[in-house]
Homo-oligomer: A and B are copies of this chain.
Amino acid sequence: MRLLVANANTTEAITELCAAAARGAAGPGTEIIPATPRFGPAVIATRAEDAIAAHGLLSLLAEHAGQVDGVLLAVSLDTALEAARQLMPCPVVGMTEAACLAACLLGGRFGLVTMGSVEPYRERIARHGLAPRLAALRGIALTPQDAVRDPQAVASQMDAAIAEVVAEGADAVVLGGAALAGMGPRLQRQAAVPLLDGIACGVKLLEMLVTLRLPRSSTGSYAPPQRRGTLGLDPALAALLRGG
């Protein structure tokens, strides 16, 4: 099967990082197809960037509609997840969504650690309906750039953050943010509970959904768009909204 690993920011290097992680998790018959939007935020770290990125991401997805068997949103806020799920003719999974659902299979409540503000993650998890499963969130005051410059400093702050959410009741911890993905094995060695990487979980959940061959909804708010008019959008995206 062919899985699109769609970054939502315009930084190719992050796309490559995620694609490599996806290939590491993919099963034998799974091909990973990386993709990067042509416009939008360079990195998504704020509410405004998350909202703006949706357009570029959905335009990118539309170009691959019909040519891939599943889509992994390689962006830690699960940007435009619900829209992509409605729009695309194949399964779509968000990386943080994937890690949170996998965490639910491992214990009672889970935690999430990230860099920067935790509030958008709290809201994302609430939108996923998983607030009752969330034990605690922690955001360290370092940036993805710091992670490149001084991975040791980031790792030790992350170790501490993970220990804190475990102390607050987390039986598993989601790593929030692509920048943390590479650190997973290193962080896991210090952690008392399993750590979850959204890219790996997302690839496996997509393999599940593709294999199950479920039909799309033909009713309700996830039914495919039909006869929706647009102005000034990319042809592929406009065509998907027009349906037919």
Which residues of A approach B to under 8 Å, CB–CB?
10, 25, 27, 38-43, 45-52, 54-56, 58, 80, 82-87, 91, 93, 97, 101-102, 104-109, 117-120, 122-123, 126-133, 166, 169-172, 188, 192-194, 196, 200-201, 204-205, 207-209, 211-212, 214-222, 225, 228-233, 237, 240-241
Contacts and interface: CB of A to CB of B under 8 A. Distances in A.
A193 B220 contact: yes
A129 to B, nearest CB: 4
Contacts of A80: 51
Among A40, A52, A109, A215, max chain B CB count under 10 A is at: A52
Contact of A109 (B119, B188, B225): B119
A233 B169 contact: no
A137 B10 CA distance: 39
Given A27-B211, A192-B217, A209-B102, A169 B41 contact: no
6 contacts: A42-B229, A42-B231, A47-B82, A54-B55, A130-B130, A208-B208
Contact of A108 (B119, B133, B219, B233): B119
B192 A219 contact: yes
Contacts of A109: 119, 129
Contacts of A52: 54-55, 58, 83, 230, 233, 237, 241
A228 B108 contact: no
Contacts of A41: 228-231, 241
Contacts of A207: 204, 208
Nearest to A128: B104
B49 A241 contact: yes
